[in-house]
Structure 1
Amino acid sequence: MGKRKTFNTDEILLQIGYLFIEKGYNGTSIGDIVDKTGLLRGSLYSTFGSKQGMFISVLRLSLRRDNEQLKWGLLIVAMLEVTPRSQKVYNIVQTWYLEHQNENVAEKIGSELLKHSGLEGPNI
């Protein structure tokens, strides 16, 4: 696959977001992101700054969009892996939670966590 010189940031973020959901934040390497997107490391770093910058960008995008799978998948990854180490991600998740706490968010988080773990589904 050839390397692209220009790219649609939102499309790249969607690819990265699903990779984070699939492999987790800690399990996703920059090499994985390069392979998935076809972009050079330099392009990714100049656009997003770091792996955490990529995660923050896609998390923010997911919270603005109507893609429930992306939103909940990234929120689960954020809560399990990133918020304990990143005040910035913690603040994003906390702000979102406070804005939506009257919407049965805790119940939805539990259900999404079960799905993410593979414990909820037709085989259970």
Structure 2
Amino acid sequence: MARPRSFDTDDALEKAMHVFWQRGYEGASLPDLLDGMGLTRGSLYKAFTDKKTLFLKVLERYETQAVEAGVAMLSDPAVPNGAERIMAMFRGSYQNVVEGDARGCLLCTAAAGPCNYDEEIAKAVSRGLGTLRGGIYVALGASPRHATLSEAERGALADMVLAQYVGLRTMARARIDHGTLHNIVRSVGVMLA
């Protein structure tokens, strides 16, 4: 008879997410993960099979938590102007950096790392960034200045805003100076004005 799992899978995934978020996929060693999750090697492998499978589950969790929260903000009818919703997302990201959170975005970090060589991770990152892009597209539709754009034009603008967001979050992780990051936020404001 198999022994029942003696740890909470949800809690373990949450802890693994923070290890990957802090160190990146390549930088998160097995000892880092075991220590951060409070698991033994056997428990980790039994529950998650391998590091890649664990990372894919973490990306799902990140999408459910962070990306869907961002999309909810971008879709919030309490802020009638969609351009203001987008700016709130950028300002919030910048403010997190100013307050000391230089982790950036887990999806953006993965896009710059393991997506280069792993198709499954690339698909997961693409799905998450696509979800965020969809939220940006919805917000642009609620912006008086952008609601009249054609679907193709609004889609192109959503792609550009997403690229700025990925750039901001990646540069934050690279510890680029706050002035440069602030200029990125300002440039998005100019683009959406």
Tell me, yes or no, whether TM beats 0.5.
yes
Letter in 1 for 2:175: G
| Structure-2 change in CA distance of 1:73 and 1:22 (3 Å) | same
Shift, 1:100, TM fit: 3.2
The alignment's TM-score, normalised by the length of structure 2, stands at 0.54
Aligned residue pairs total 119
Aligned to 2:164, which of 100, 104, 107?
A: 107
Structure 1 unaligned blocks of 5 or more = none
Task: Confirm whether residue 95 of structure 1 aligns to residue 133 of structure 2.
Answer: no
Structure 2 unaligned blocks of 5 or more = 71-100, 137-160, 182-193
Shift, 1:10, TM fit: 2.0
Letter in 2 for 1:9: T
Asked whether the 8 Å contact 2:115–2:122 carries over to 1, the reply is yes
Identity of aligned residues (%): 25
Q: Larger Cα Rg: Structure 1 or Structure 2?
A: 2
The residue aligned with 1:62 is 62
Shift, 1:115, TM fit: 1.0
The alignment's TM-score, normalised by the length of structure 1, stands at 0.81
User: Larger helix proportion, structure 1 or 2?
Assistant: 2
Q: Secondary structure at the match of 1:7?
A: coil
Stretches (4+) displaced over 6 A: none
Point out the more displaced range, 87-96 or 101-110: 101-110
